[in-house]
Amino acid sequence: MAVPSMDWTYPAGSGDAGIFEIGRRLAEALGRAPDATRFTYDPRGMLRTTREIEAAARGGRLLVGFQTAAKLRVEALRYADLLEAGTRLTVWAIGPRPDDPGLALLDYRQVPGDHRRLETQWFLVTDDPEPLAFVSYELGDPATFGIGGAATPGKRFVGFVSDDPGVVELLIAALGLLGAPPAEAPRAPTSAAVQELVRLGETADVAPSGAPAGAVVVAVGRGADRDAFVVGLALAARENRQLVLVDRSAEGFSSPYGDLRGDDLGRPSPDRLFDDALARREGRGGIGTYLEAAQAAGVTAGGWFPTQSGAEGLAEAARRFGGVLFVLPPGADRPSLAERLRGVMTDRLRASTGLPVIVAAPTR
């Protein structure tokens, strides 16, 4: 019999009362009232519950939400010990997998930073040797989400503990594929346009940036953006950087984010980069081709729609995604009046971020 599905996303703007909506959805999915104990903020009790579930699941199966990779790094020794004891561990967190040999056998699921979704919360779920679940939603300031311990001033949590097999089954079903590497889908043959972009990136005459480790942020969607993309692609490939393409064509009358919730991973969200498939679904074929070319060149890349125009939008992309240098299209150092009104000035961008700005040379 198929397990019913349920939306575990915490209701926006509901405060502590949102946990009652989670309970209502649980009852609807189960067809009965769930056997669960609701709790409000109690950092000592939450930590005690965490340790008890870790001990109970030792040698069995344990699904854990750490919120951020930094928190897993702090607990690396404890979780390496659980792995050594034969525990089947799956962890969800925002940020890249910690580089720790003791966690080599860990099933690590990196997830986008949407602060209301289940996979970004603090939770522990086990069904072996017995069903038990602890789910805690953080409700404090989004700017400090997942930062610090449970007792950090300003933190607020609400959630529940349950040994109801139906609740545990729903959680496991919901978490199942979240963050898992997607199945490889057959790709269409690489187009001539993509092949040409890859060739241009490989042969571009671009000096080393000299910037520290981090992403290269490229402005596309306005002007001769192909020249900027080629320079950014060359730097990303040669210096092992992530490539962040900021689609300035989105600086229009309507936001591509709609209500900014980003609840559906199939929709764009200001908190995460998008791939070529989403770009094409959003009608952005140009940036979709650039993202496809980056992938063909072996470069990790993603697109982003700015929430502000001009230099402010580019600076925000750098802050969100670890940018350490910018690449702008030819002529950006001599912007038109319209571009100046949009706020695209290289001196403003350098002053507001302290990062180097490269203006691509025009193709001859």
Q: How far is the C-alpha of 101 from the C-alpha of 79, rounded, in Å? A: 12
What value does the mean pLDDT take over residues 281-292?
A: 87
Say what percent of the chain tops pLDDT 70.
89
- Which own/partner pairs from 313-318 qualify as long-range (CB within 8 Å, at least 24 positions apart)? 313/246, 313/248, 313/251, 314/217, 314/219, 314/246, 314/349, 315/349, 315/352, 315/353, 317/217, 317/244, 317/246, 318/215, 318/217, 318/244, 318/353, 318/355
DSSP code for 274: B
Residue-level pLDDT at 188:
53
Residue 161: in which H helix or E strand, if any?
A: strand 157-162
Nearest to 287 by CA among 323, 316, 246: 246
- 164 three-state secondary structure: coil
Q: What does the block give as tokens for 165?
A: 């097999």
Q: Which among 94, 89, 11, 66 is positioned nearest to 261, based on CA atoms?
A: 11
Which single residue is written with the structure tokens 């699941």? 57
Q: Residues 6 or more apart from 362 whose CB is under 8 A from it? A: 224, 227, 330, 331
List Cα–Cα distances, 112 to 27, 121, 179, 335, in angstroms: 28, 12, 8, 35
Mean pLDDT of 210-214: 92
Q: What pLDDT does residue 134 have?
A: 95
- What backbone torsions phi and psi does residue 62 show, to the nearest 5 degrees? -140, 125
Sheet arrangement for strand 157-162: 36-40, 157-162, 132-138, 122-128, 61-68, 88-94, 107-110
Element (H, E) at 40: strand 36-40
Task: Tell me the mean pLDDT in the region 16-32.
Answer: 91
Rg (Cα) of the chain, in Å, rounded?
23
**Is pLDDT larger for residue 150 or for residue 308?**
308
> Is 197 within 8 Å of 306 (Cβ atoms)?
no
Q: Which two tokens stand for residue 276?
A: 């070529």
- Walk me through the domains of the chain, giving residue ranges and CATH numbers: 15-175 (3.30.870.10), 192-359 (3.40.50.620)
DSSP per-residue letters across 251-272: -SSS-TTTTS---STTS--TTS
As given in the structure block, the two tokens for residue 304 are 């982003």
- CB-CB neighbours of 345 under 10 Å: 17
Query: Which residue shows structure tokens 């034969």?
Result: 86
If you count DSSP H runs as helices and E runs as strands, how many of each does the chain have, helices first? Answer: 12, 12
Residue 185 has pLDDT above 70, yes or no: no
Query: Considering the entire predicted model, what is its pTM?
Result: 0.53
Token pair 């993603």 is found at 302
Sequence letter at residue 265: L
Tell me if 137 sits within 8 A of 10, measured CB to CB: yes
Q: What tens digit of pLDDT does each residue of 227-255 get?
A: 999 999 999 999 999 999 999 887 765 56
- pLDDT (mean) for 305-334: 89
Quickly state the pLDDT bin for 292 (edges 50, 70, 90): very high
